[in-house]
Amino acid sequence: MDNKKFIPPDWAFEFHGHRCPFMPIGYRMGKLALEYLGIEREKDHGFFVFPELGEGHPQTCMMDGIQIATGATYGKVLIAKTFYGKLAATFYHQKKGAVRYSLRPEFVDAMGNFEFFAYRKKGIEPSEIPAAVVDEIINWVYQQTNELMFKVEPKPDFQYTPPKGSFNRTKCSLCGEYVFERYVRMKDGKPVCIPCSGYEKK
Ligand SMILES: [Zn+2]
Ligand SMILES: [Zn+2]
């Protein structure tokens, strides 16, 4: 098997900030999802990713790898977490449909035996872990087969309609700053931004 294409480019590690196994796992998941759906890395706004990760667990680094591989970035509003706290993501293309990739528990368990996690459990950040310990687990990940790492499920019924784009903006009658249409609120009959409105964000 040719695993070389699943090794993230140097700029990916530079963007991510440290070397760890989860960014490369997300990168591979993203590459495989593009392949499965028969699409290229997203240039514009037709492809979406819904990672099921939450916060406060180390595997969230996967999401940087997913963005790097697929071009579905937070800046383009093409990626949104479900906060299920699971090691999975659904990839959806408006014309090609959807597929869900999840990490197999056996793979996650096997990873857990590496010294890398002994450091992480002591609260040591990836950039502070000896390079040999980090490389050991990253190289092991590179050697695993896709079948061993991922469960793949087609999602023929998956639907998603992105919010309609709008360039319409208004000046808040209180602070004078621009606010885009769907976020404008009314106060005493005048348009205001959410912070000036006193309403909760919703
Ligand atoms: Zn990381
Ligand atoms: Zn305002």
- pLDDT tens-digit readout, 31-65: 999 999 999 999 999 999 999 999 888 799 999 99
Q: Which fold has domain 165-202?
A: Wheat Germ Agglutinin (Isolectin 2); domain 1 (3.30.60)
Query: Domain coordinates of the chain in residue numbers?
Result: 4-154, 165-202
**pLDDT bucket at 162, cuts 50 / 70 / 90:** confident
Centre of ligand 2 from the C-alpha of residue 163, in Å: 23
Give the Å distances, CA to CA, from 25 to 22, 28, 33: 5, 5, 12
pLDDT higher than threshold 70 for residue 201: no
> Using alpha carbons only, what angle is made at residue 144 by residues 24 and 56, rounded to the nearest 5 degrees?
45
The structure tokens listed for 82 are: 């479900």
Centre of ligand 1 from the C-alpha of residue 201, in Å: 31
- pLDDT tens-digit readout, 97-124: 999 999 999 999 999 999 999 999 999 9
DSSP code at position 199: P
CATH entry, 4-154, from 3.40.50.800, 3.30.1330.130, 3.90.950.20, 3.40.710.10: 3.30.1330.130
- pLDDT tens-digit readout, 164-198: 888 899 999 999 999 999 999 999 999 999 999 98
Write down the pTM of the prediction.
0.91
Ligand nearest to the CA of 178: 2
The residue-averaged pLDDT of 82-87 equals: 94
